[in-house]
Chains A and B, each alone.
Chain A
Amino acid sequence: MVRFMVRRLAMALVSLFFVVTLTFFIMKAIPGGPFASEKSLPPNILAAINEKYHLNDPLWKQYVDYLGRTARWDFGPSFKYPNRTVNDIIRDGFPVSAAVGAMAVGLALGVGLLAGVMSALKQNHFQDYGTMVLATLGFSVPSFVMAGLLQYFLAYRWQVLPPALWGSWKNIVMPALALSALPTAMIARLMRSSMLEVLQQDYIKTARAKGLSERVIIYRHVLRNAILPVVTYLGPLIAGVFTGSFIIESIFAVPGLGRWFVLSIANRDYTVIMGTTVFYSLFLIAMNLLVDLAYVIIDPRIKLVDRKE
């Protein structure tokens, strides 16, 4: 296990290096820059700006700078919002996005798992169809439509929740609901399908034959073995949802991190692009590592390290 962890951490650094490198060169390859504007600036002013922000340094030097900044975890100030450093942006935005994300994932897990299990146990019954049709609706309504509908009814028609902005727990509800629709549907369906698979396994039949109560069978044997696909799904889901969604955050005016992923690219705000990408990558890598560790806990037969080693 120690060996596995050491290897994974080393590999994580390699992954991060490739992410930074790829992002940097794509970012520099696409047209535009942080100071492009519809009204062309006089060339001398543009030159002064490029000088000030080191944008006319040779590409390799800028690249090395970014690598250094990543290593020191100091991404510098945003080009577009010179008042704020990228570290500030992450520090202010992440807790907000994570709060919404945590509630969304919590909802998705709670409702999704319950619905999936219920529906698998009642396969082809009315409950099964009902739940799965509902879950399908979660798929088929894009999050921005869901957000629009929630806002229209809950905030505008019935006025039970504030339409937007941040501050109290009430502000978390609608963004979290809108975000959780798709993962809830996904988890419900994944759970149903893998439960059905596990229920046919011989060891379940054996357990039944031994006279174990249905409750024990479900809890101890079926759930445990069926949850694997859900766990895999949770890795990127948590990384994605906790770092925020651009669409949801702009609709509900949530001051989270999600909008920066999109806005920084639209603005060619290079330092913010690098900072947010590195942050997200680390999160993703960590989540995937946790998922792999969870595999071993859930199913001890899984070996992450080669026997030959």
Chain B
Amino acid sequence: MEISRDLFQPIAQGREDAEAIVRPSTTYWQDAWRRLKQNKGAMAGLVIIILLTVMAIIGPWISPYTYDAQQLTAEGTNRLPDATHWFGTDDLGRDLFTRVWYGARISLLIGFVTALVQFLIGVTYGGISGYLGGWVDEIMMRVVEVLYAVPFLLYVVLLMVLMEPGLKTILIALGAVYWLPIARLVRGQVLSLKEQEYVLAARALGASPWRIIFRHLIPNSMGPILVYTTLAIPEAIFAEAWLSFLGLGVSAPIASWGSLISDGIASIRQYPFQLFFPAFFISLTILAFNIFGDGLRDALDPQLRK
């Protein structure tokens, strides 16, 4: 039998198939999630965060009082916690349980958004500055320095004149400066990491700078970045208290954790419970975020990938 050419048919086949990996591939993110699930501490943190968020949503509903209803009588104000007012009342006779959870809405939102903004802008800016280096780095870092050196309070007063007070304005004020330190941090990490062999290898393989920054340098700097980001949450919560005191924040009588705390510190002698409840929940939130952040760091660490 003659074996002719036309007996053969080319199989439609790309070169890639030859190197196909038989085992189902897990992406970086799937892998990270799998590892995160195994970390008990991180999961505990996540559960607390979810619980707090749920309470922020439903908390004001399960209490029979509204956040701004006052009882301006000697008996109604500054009541100790009891069966009717679980966390007591403040100096205008408002129910603190309702106010704490109402405040959670504002503060958690501000914390989340600020952390996200600082993460996105700061990491990108710092990554580019550090990777490109030289003059670009020089100029980009001087810009950070100038913005950092102009007094924050001046920006704030300027914003107050230009914009209506409210959540949006606070987010702009905080977003405008909070990315600066993280940009410097990421830039420092990248300066060091970009001299490592694997970056040289990636470059030799023709990877684009964009890819090197986001697939190699930033995942490898995740540890310090997450520390900064988790710190941004409490900082933003407290900054909001200060800003609303200056008139830029959410306006009274709306509560936020920051404003409840600064109100509470004045009561430390007479009515310590007014400080205790908001302070306790802030601390719990921060703790949860930090444990979760640590777990996330481990999960995202490319070195630990198996």
A and B touching (C-beta < 8 Å)? yes
Is the C-beta of B265 less than 8 angstroms from some C-beta in chain A?
yes
Is the C-beta of A302 less than 8 angstroms from some C-beta in chain B?
yes
How many chain A residues have a CB neighbour from B under 8 Å?
A: 67
With A22-B146, A194-B223, A265-B154 as given contacts, are A30 and B134 in contact (CB-CB < 8 Å)? no
- Are A197 and B151 in contact, with the CB atoms below 8 A? no
Binds A, one of B27-35, B155-163, B165-173: B155-163
B10–chain A nearest beta-carbon distance, Å? 44
- Are B146 and A15 in contact, with the CB atoms below 8 A? yes
- Are A265 and B151 in contact, with the CB atoms below 8 A? yes
Choose one: B158, B279, B285, B304; the contact of A200 (CB below 8 Å).
B304
Is the C-beta of B192 less than 8 angstroms from some C-beta in chain A?
yes
B189–chain A nearest beta-carbon distance, Å? 7
Q: Which chain A residues border B157 with CB–CB below 8 Å?
A: 30, 265
Is the C-beta of A173 less than 8 angstroms from some C-beta in chain B?
no
Q: Which chain B residues border A277 with CB–CB below 8 Å?
A: 149-151
- Are B297 and A26 in contact, with the CB atoms below 8 A? no
0 or 1 for each of B239-258: is its CB under 8 Å from A? (1 = yes): 00100000000000000000
Is the C-beta of A259 less than 8 angstroms from some C-beta in chain B?
no
- Are B151 and A139 in contact, with the CB atoms below 8 A? no
Q: Considering the chains assembled together, what is the distance between the CA atoms of A7 and B142 in angstroms?
A: 12
- Are B142 and A15 in contact, with the CB atoms below 8 A? yes
- Are B192 and A233 in contact, with the CB atoms below 8 A? no
Interfacial residues of chain B within 143-194, with CB under 8 A of chain A in the complex: 145-146, 148-151, 153-155, 157-158, 161, 181, 184-185, 188-189, 191-192
Q: Considering the chains assembled together, what is the distance between the CA atoms of A139 and B230 in angstroms?
A: 10
Q: Which chain A residues border B286 with CB–CB below 8 Å?
A: 136, 139-140
Main secondary structure of the interface of B (DSSP, over half): helix
- Are B290 and A15 in contact, with the CB atoms below 8 A? no
Q: Considering the chains assembled together, what is the distance between the CA atoms of A262 and B261 in angstroms?
A: 21
Q: Which chain A residues border B231 with CB–CB below 8 Å?
A: 139, 186, 189
B218–chain A nearest beta-carbon distance, Å? 13
Choose one: A26, A189, A229; the contact of B290 (CB below 8 Å).
A189
Q: Which chain A residues border B8 with CB–CB below 8 Å?
A: none
0 or 1 for each of B267-306: is its CB under 8 Å from A? (1 = yes): 0110000010001001101110011001001100101100
A7's nearest neighbour on chain B, judged by CB, is B138
- Are B227 and A186 in contact, with the CB atoms below 8 A? yes
Choose one: A26, A149, A303; the contact of B150 (CB below 8 Å).
A26
A294–chain B nearest beta-carbon distance, Å? 10
Interfacial residues of chain A within 219-258, with CB under 8 A of chain B in the complex: 228-229, 231-233, 235-236
Binds B, one of A82-90, A99-107, A281-289: A281-289
Is the C-beta of A31 less than 8 angstroms from some C-beta in chain B?
yes
Q: Which chain B residues border A303 with CB–CB below 8 Å?
A: 133, 195
Q: Which chain B residues border A197 with CB–CB below 8 Å?
A: 220, 223, 301, 303
0 or 1 for each of A1-26: is its CB under 8 Å from B? (1 = yes): 00000011001001100110011001
With A133-B287, A201-B303 as given contacts, are A284 and B145 in contact (CB-CB < 8 Å)? yes
Is the C-beta of A152 less than 8 angstroms from some C-beta in chain B?
yes
Choose one: A139, A149, A193, A201; the contact of B234 (CB below 8 Å).
A139
- Are A232 and B265 in contact, with the CB atoms below 8 A? no
- Are A265 and B134 in contact, with the CB atoms below 8 A? no
Q: Which chain A residues border B287 with CB–CB below 8 Å?
A: 133, 136-137, 140
Is the C-beta of A72 less than 8 angstroms from some C-beta in chain B?
no
B142's nearest neighbour on chain A, judged by CB, is A15
Choose one: B141, B150, B196; the contact of A22 (CB below 8 Å).
B150
Q: Considering the chains assembled together, what is the distance between the CA atoms of A199 and B41 in angstroms?
A: 21
A sample of 23 cross-chain residue pairs with beta-carbon separation below 8 angstroms, ordered by A number, consists of A8-B138, A22-B146, A23-B151, A30-B161, A129-B41, A136-B286, A139-B230, A139-B231, A139-B286, A139-B290, A140-B282, A142-B261, A145-B275, A189-B231, A189-B290, A193-B297, A228-B188, A261-B151, A261-B153, A281-B149, A284-B149, A295-B188, A308-B134
- 8 pairs of A and B residues whose beta carbons are closest in the complex: A306-B134, A193-B223, A140-B286, A301-B195, A281-B149, A229-B224, A140-B283, A232-B188
In the complex, besides A193-B224, A233-B185, 10 extra interface pairs with C-beta distance below 8 angstroms are A137-B283, A139-B230, A140-B234, A142-B261, A196-B223, A229-B223, A236-B181, A301-B196, A305-B134, A308-B134
